[in-house]
């Protein structure tokens, strides 16, 4: 089978690999779609970086890349009980020890037993291939009505956005500000509406991305990310600000905008990786009585919940996709994603399974 290796020099190599066999508690998934994540770009594609707990060692271990797969089970090993051949699934992108407190709560992403924690596409073979070997415990059902591309997006970005918004407690009658309208920001806009936000205001600096976002219809107003952004947000909200703001940009100016544009008693969520938070404390935080939250990735249960909610509402995460490329064009796909694609970039293997989305 074909699989994608990332050398860490801003290229992507398509290599030949043997098709794996399902062992105890494992399923072999024929990949229907696999997304490219910003973390793939920042931590692997442009040069190998480390993570907390790795003592400086690169997080990527030279495996098949991709941690956002969705597809169809074509083989099941001994001990598999929930799923079977022919089932369509989304793969949660971390397999943890299953024993620590975080794993028992479904947050494999925060597994504290580092030697037994392995992320697809980082420490074990991932979804940028025609097949991926997955532990059954990391699979959730792909609901009826959703495509494999929808599932791939839920596998990371939409789950991340859902967790961040859930922690802010956004609900009906509130204005939601989303800073940074990349794939996770657009996911936050779609899910925020689903959770009842009265209006979604977006902040973005890229003119090309702004035009793409307008075509999706996911936000009511878009504010240019410049030194007048906060003032323009206040104008749109009658001087009040937004009850809930989330930063998906991962930038210092973006986080400042999220904090400064929050209304009194507002809730601010930080979702974007990287950068720093710099803010005046008294007037900006204390006197406005703000609540600040931060989140990484949702839990296994959270991912299943948001997938079912999206399907029940008749929504399509695929709306945020701007580029779909054949798996064998992975190098081109990664160049597009690293160059600041207007939306999400997704790889589709040749011969990928087809799904009846009705």
Does 55 have pLDDT greater than 70?
Answer: no
Does 57 have pLDDT greater than 90?
Answer: no
Q: How far apart are the first and last CA of the chain?
A: 30
Does 30 have pLDDT greater than 80?
Answer: yes
What are the residues whose beta carbons fall under 8 Å from the beta carbon of 316, sequence distance 6 or more? 146, 147, 150
pLDDT in tens, 3-14: 999 999 999 999
Nearest partner of 188 among 167, 217, 158, judged by Cα? 158
Average pLDDT over residues 82-102: 97
Note the pLDDT of residue 58: 87
State in words which class domain 160-294 has. Answer: alpha beta
Cα 235 to Cα 172: distance, rounded to the nearest angstrom: 21
Inter-CA distances, 141 with 39, 112, 193, 311, Å:
25, 26, 24, 12
CATH 3.40.50.720 domain position(s) in the chain: 160-294
Note the pLDDT of residue 170: 97
Q: What is the dihedral of CA 123, 127, 133, 135, to 10 degrees?
A: 70
- The first and second tokens of residue 93, run together, are 């992108």
Note the pLDDT of residue 155: 96
Does 53 have pLDDT greater than 80?
Answer: no
- The first and second tokens of residue 75, run together, are 């083989």
Please provide the CATH number assigned to the domain covering 2-147+316-348: 3.90.180.10
Average pLDDT over residues 32-60: 88
Average pLDDT over residues 305-329: 98
pLDDT in tens, 117-164: 999 999 999 999 999 999 999 999 999 999 999 999 999 999 999 999
Write out the E strands in the chain: 2-5, 13-16, 26-35, 69-76, 88-91, 94-95, 118-119, 131-135, 139-141, 175-179, 199-204, 221-224, 242-247, 262-270, 291-294, 321-326, 344-348
pTM: 0.95
Nearest partner of 7 among 45, 41, 40, judged by Cα? 45
CATH 3.90.180.10 domain position(s) in the chain: 2-147+316-348
Does 56 have pLDDT greater than 80?
Answer: no
pLDDT in tens, 331-347: 999 999 999 899 999 99
pLDDT band, residue 275 (cuts 50/70/90): confident
Average pLDDT over residues 100-110: 96
Averaged confidence pLDDT in the chain: 96
């Amino acid at each position: 089978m074909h699989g994608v290796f990332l050398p860490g020099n801003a290229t992507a190599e398509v290599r030949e690999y043997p098709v794996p066999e399902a062992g105890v508690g494992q399923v072999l998934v024929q990949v229907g779609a696999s997304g490219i994540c910003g973390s793939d770009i920042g931590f692997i594609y442009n040069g190998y970086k480390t993570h907390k707990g790795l003592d400086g060692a690169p997080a990527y271990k030279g495996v098949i890349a991709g941690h956002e797969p969705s597809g169809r089970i074509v083989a099941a090993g001994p001990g598999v009980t929930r799923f079977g051949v022919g089932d369509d699934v989304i793969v949660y992108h971390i397999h943890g020890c299953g024993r620590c407190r975080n794993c028992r709560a479904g947050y494999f992403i925060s597994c504290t037993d580092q030697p037994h924690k392995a992320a697809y596409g980082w420490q074990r073979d991932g979804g940028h291939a025609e097949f991926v070997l997955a532990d059954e415990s990391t699979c959730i059902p792909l609901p009826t009505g959703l495509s494999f591309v929808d599932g791939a997006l839920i596998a990371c970005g939409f789950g991340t956005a859902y967790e961040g918004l859930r922690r802010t407690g956004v609900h009906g009658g509130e204005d939601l500000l989303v800073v940074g309208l990349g794939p996770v920001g657009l996911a936050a806009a779609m899910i925020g509406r689903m959770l009842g936000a009265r209006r979604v205001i977006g902040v973005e600096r890229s003119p090309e991305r702004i035009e793409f976002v307008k075509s999706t219809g996911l936000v009511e107003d878009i504010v240019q990310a410049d030194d007048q952004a906060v003032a323009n947000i206040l104008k749109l909200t009658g001087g009040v600000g937004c009850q809930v703001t989330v930063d998906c940009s991962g930038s210092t100016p973006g986080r400042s905008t999220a904090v400064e544009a929050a209304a009194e008693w507002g809730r601010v969520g930080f979702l974007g990786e990287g950068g720093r938070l710099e803010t005046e404390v008294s007037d900006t935080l204390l006197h406005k009585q703000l609540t600040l939250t931060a989140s990484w990735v949702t839990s296994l249960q959270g991912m299943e919940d948001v997938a079912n909610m999206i399907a029940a509402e008749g929504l399509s995460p695929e709306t945020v996709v701007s580029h779909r490329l054949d798996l064998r064009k992975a190098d081109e796909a990664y160049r597009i994603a690293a160059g600041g694609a207007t939306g999400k970039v997704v790889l589709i293997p040749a011969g990928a399974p087809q799904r009846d989305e009705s």
